[in-house]
Amino acid sequence: MQYEIQALNERVERESRFVPVLQKSIQRVIVGQKYLVDRLLIGILCDGHVLIEGVPGLAKTLSVKTLASSVDAAFRRIQFTPDLLPADLVGTEVYNPRDHTFTAKKGPIFANFILADEINRAPAKVQSALLECMQERQVTIGDKTYPLAFPFLVLATQNPIEQEGTYPLPEAQVDRFMLKLKVTYPSREEEKQIMEMVTAGELPSVEPVVSPPVLKQAQQTVREIYMDEKVKNYVLDIVFATRDPESFKLPIKHLIAYGGSPRATIFLAHAAKAHAFLRGRGYATPEDVKAVGYDVLRHRVIVTYEAEAEGLDSEAVLKRIFDHIEVP
């Protein structure tokens, strides 16, 4: 076992060499936001979609665009608006009067990186058009189904401070996002760098530094990263504590309406492995699980009205769970 882990460590060290190159490429444009960049990389390594929440002006869109530019892949930005239609997203069939036939006109969803900007501004029928794309990696137009190219990632942004003219994402769709990130303001020193860089002139250009085959190989390596039985049980304890806290002697059942789904268990273990990969390790630890725990679970744990009345959100409930569950 020790030999296998050592071999995995060497393989991870070899195949993660593109990570600092990719990070350096992104840092040419993005100042700070290490948390955001790291979590976007975890999303890519796990082939999982990412929902990014934060107030305007925090470089959410710019970060996603810069990441996509650093990978040799197709990028499309879709601005979600109240008048957007599903056909504007996935495409439609166009009638050809000369041949009396219909041909498929593919929409912007046929790309590798999809930036769904302000996703909560579009109505439910448009949001639901993303469901098949996100889960099955395919699109149905008319009676034909078209596979989506690799890699395919939906990176969505939403603004938490506006309520008018927005449509909250259905829980079924939110659950399809592997991670939900909460982006905060930069530090004073970082904001000074941003001010100086932007006011000095145009932002630096970014060239592709990673190819899809390299990403595919890295994804395979992430899946093979070793996770001990104790760490697996730790993941299960955390997720099951969100469903049945009383069995863990946690008096918070009245605060939780719905706990994490089986996707939470799968994504938490997968994201922990990707976190270990980014740090050059061939094995996952409980610290990796805790590092990504809030990002995987904050949108899957639905709190009750009683919790909201007490001023508690899902993160406050999750903190109690992480503080209580014994770390192996």
177 and 89 housed in the same domain: yes
CATH number at residue 158: 3.40.50.300
One domain for residues 37 and 111: yes
Looking at the fold, whether 84 and 172 belong to one and the same domain comes out as: yes
Residues 82 and 178 in one domain: yes
- Residue ranges of alpha helices (H) inside the chain are 2-15, 18-27, 34-45, 60-70, 86-90, 124-136, 171-174, 188-200, 212-224, 229-243, 262-278, 286-297, 305-309, 314-324
- CATH number, domain of 315, equals 1.10.8.80
Reported confidence tier of residue 164, pLDDT bands at 50, 70, 90: low
State which of 139, 165, 200 marks the end of a domain: 200
For residue 80, is it within any domain? Answer: yes
Could you tell me if 157 and 73 lie in one domain? yes
Evaluated on CA atoms 154, 181, 179, 177, the torsion sign reads: negative
| Count of the separate structural domains present in the chain | 2
Domain presence at residue 141: yes
Give a yes or no: residue 4 inside a domain. no
Among 200, 235, 251, the domain-final residue is 200
- Decide if 24 is inside a domain: no
Q: How far apart are CA 250 and CA 245, in angstroms?
A: 5
Give the DSSP H/E element, type plus range, for residue 226.
Answer: strand 226-227
Summarize pLDDT for 258-316 with one digit per residue, the tens: 888 888 999 999 999 999 999 888 889 999 999 999 999 988 888 888 888 888 888 88
Tell me if 245 is assigned to some domain.
yes
Please state, in angstroms and rounded to a whole number, the distance separating the CA atoms of residues 247 and 240: 9
CA–CA separation, 36 and 16 (whole Å):
19
Q: Is residue 218 part of a domain?
A: no
192-240 pLDDT, tens digit per residue, is 877 877 787 767 777 888 888 888 899 999 998 989 999 999 999 999 9
> Which domain covers residue 165, as residue numbers?
31-200
Contact 74, 112 (CB under 8 A): yes
pLDDT for 238-258, tens place per residue? Answer: 999 999 888 888 888 888 888
Calculate the CA 282 to chain-centre distance: 22
Distances (CA, A) of 1 to 7, 170, 180, 227, 328: 10, 44, 35, 12, 19
- pTM here? 0.86
